[in-house]
Amino acid sequence: MRILPDDSPLLLTRGYGFGAHIWKRVRDGARSAPMRLLGDDTVFVRGSEGVDVFYDDTLVARHGAMPAFIQESLFGHGSVHSLDGGAHRHRKATFVDVAYEDRQVERLLPLLENEWQSELDDWIAGGERTAYDAAVGGFGRSIMQWAGTPGTRAARTRWAARLAQIVDGFGVPYSPEYLLALLNRKWSDRHTEQLVEAVRAGTLEAVEGTALHEWAWHRDRNGVLLPARTAGIELQNSMRPMIAVARFVAFAAKELHDRPEWRSRIAAETTERGSLVEGPLATAFAQEVRRTAPFVPMLPGKAIADVALDGQEVSAGGRVVLDILGTNTDERSWERASEFDPERFVGVDDYEAIRAFIPHGGADVATGHRCPGEKLAIAGLAAAVAALSDPRVTILDSGLEVNRRRLPTKPASGGRVRSAEAAPASRCPFH
């Protein structure tokens, strides 16, 4: 591999354009490209071939790969994201039990129905929350109730805002938003640590099967209870990804605004079914939003053996970086990859079998690093899509532009939603 300047600063200057810049170094359609990251020789990979390499635990490890400023602020110290091998599989099994099993999804659905119906009713009555803010609150309250954490509606809304800000600030270490994210991380770590300690002391009841109960009593491979701080961090990691889906909701508002025919189809489906959750068309739309929206740009790994793919090599000790957005929109992996077309997901039940569809990570949920909360995320986003498609509300034109240099990003306004009756009419620009 030829010596290259360090590419790390380009993440800050190019944002979601970083990947496209790196791919210019190789031929069209290449599966790998050379780069340097944090001083290490690195190979940048994409497509199903890149996914296979990145999630091969004989070649690539996650421990020590994530930059500390992201690991500590977003995922938390000592979380499952930094584990490999048997330790990772053991802790991941609890995440699977807590979030991935169908019974856990079924528990969340009525909570999502209630929250999004409430948000829809508020918009119809004249409420002015953006799609993003409505999602932060609605997802936060529903996932906290689902997880078994105590608190009033107002307290849950405030905590959801803190967790959303952690997601908003983790990728901008040069800004005050990052410092605020660290403060919110510190508060949340202490709060969840106290919840775990209260459950263990018997002063707070946790219902068996909820995330609070399972993490409070989780034991490591040696049969030892996790430190209360670590258990609390994993409790957050069972909830925060749901709140992060609010960013996808903002993108869904933008896409629905631009596609009135899909709004009409989804509205008709929702009316026919009499429910905001689990609509097949709403779900297909949600999946296409997850495929195309810029969210997680890439994931880093450490090469624990020599890695070679499509003419590029990196020695053990170097880095392997998976291009998430570039894989989700890869021309070799998807027909009409650059087009937004929910039809590609209509009737697709086993989305995990699509190797190049990795908005929440790839490979196997139980043994790999794919997010076990993905089904919860899809259910929540589909419910939001159904609510935003209701003809009694409208999505305003202004503020739908996206700054692709910022990580993470969303439409600038978050998606302004108003009652269709109260929405301002188009006006002459001279009056």
Superfamily of domain 65-297+327-400+407-419 in CATH is: Cytochrome P450 (1.10.630.10)
Confidence of residue 207 (pLDDT cuts 50, 70, 90): very high
Nearest to 296 by CA among 270, 263, 326: 326
Domain chopping of the chain, boundaries: 65-297+327-400+407-419
The answer on pLDDT for 332 being more than 60 is yes
Average pLDDT on 289-306 reads 96
Angstrom distances, CA of residue 274 to CA of 224, 267, 269, 278, 355 = 47, 10, 8, 11, 34
Q: What is the predicted pLDDT for the residue at 312? A: 97
Do strands 40-45 and 32-37 pair parallel, antiparallel, or not at all (unpaired)? antiparallel
Tokens 């079914």 sit on residue: 273
Beta bridge partners of 411: 402
Question: For the chain, what percent of residues have pLDDT higher than 90?
Answer: 84
Confidence of residue 81 (pLDDT cuts 50, 70, 90): confident
| Dist CA 389 CA 268 (whole Å) | 9
Ranges 65-69, 221-225, 403-407: which has the least confidence:
65-69
Tokens 């908003």 sit on residue: 168
Average pLDDT on 178-183 reads 94
Confidence of residue 423 (pLDDT cuts 50, 70, 90): low
**Cβ atoms of residues 128 and 116 within 8 Å:** no
The answer on pLDDT for 407 being more than 50 is yes
Average pLDDT on 263-287 reads 98
The answer on pLDDT for 425 being more than 60 is no
Q: Cα Rg for the chain, rounded, in angstroms?
A: 21
pLDDT tens, position by position, 363-396: 888 877 788 999 999 999 999 999 999 999 999 9
Q: How many CB atoms sit inside 10 A of residue 260's CB?
A: 11
The answer on pLDDT for 431 being more than 70 is no
**Cβ atoms of residues 391 and 420 within 8 Å:** yes
Q: Which residues contact 204 (CB under 8 A, 6 or more apart)?
A: 150, 195, 198
**199 CB burial (10 A radius; 0-12, 13-18, 19+):** buried
Tokens standing for residue 264:
């009409």
pLDDT tens, position by position, 52-78: 999 999 999 987 777 777 776 777 777
Do strands 319-323 and 312-314 pair parallel, antiparallel, or not at all (unpaired)? unpaired
**Cβ atoms of residues 360 and 48 within 8 Å:** no
**Cβ atoms of residues 23 and 50 within 8 Å:** no
The answer on pLDDT for 85 being more than 60 is yes
- Max CA-CA distance within the chain? 73
Tokens 């109960």 sit on residue: 213
Average pLDDT on 14-31 reads 96
Beta bridge partners of 37: 40
- Encode the chain in three state secondary structure: CCCCCCCHHHHHHHHHHHHHHHHCCCCCCCCEEEEEECCEEEEEECHHHHHHHHCCCCCEECCCCCCHHHHHHHHCCCCHHHCCHHHHHHHHHHHHHHHHCHHHHHHHHHHHHHHHHHHHHHHHCCCCCEHHHHHHHHHHHHHHHHHCCCCCHHHHHHHHHHHHHHHHHCCCCCCHHHHHHHHHHHHHHHHHHHHHHHHHHCCCCCCCCCHHHHHHCCECCCCCECCHHHHHHHHHHHHHHHHHCHHHHHHHHHHHHHCHHHHHHHHHHHHHHCCCCCCHHHHHHHHHHHHHCCCCCEEEEEECCCEEECCEEECCCCEEEEEHHHHHCCCCCCCCCCCCCHHHHCCCCCHHHCCCCCECECCCCCCCCCCCCHHHHHHHHHHHHHHHCCCCEEECCCCCCECCCCCCCCECCCCEEEECCCCCCCCCCCC
Ranges 190-199, 305-314, 420-429: which has the least confidence:
420-429
What integer best gives the mean pLDDT of the chain?
93
Angle at 310 between CA 304 and CA 315, to 5 degrees: 25
Q: Which residues contact 313 (CB under 8 A, 6 or more apart)?
A: 1, 43, 306, 307
| Dist CA 230 CA 261 (whole Å) | 47
Q: What is the predicted pLDDT for the residue at 74? A: 76
The answer on pLDDT for 429 being more than 60 is no
| Dist CA 171 CA 52 (whole Å) | 26
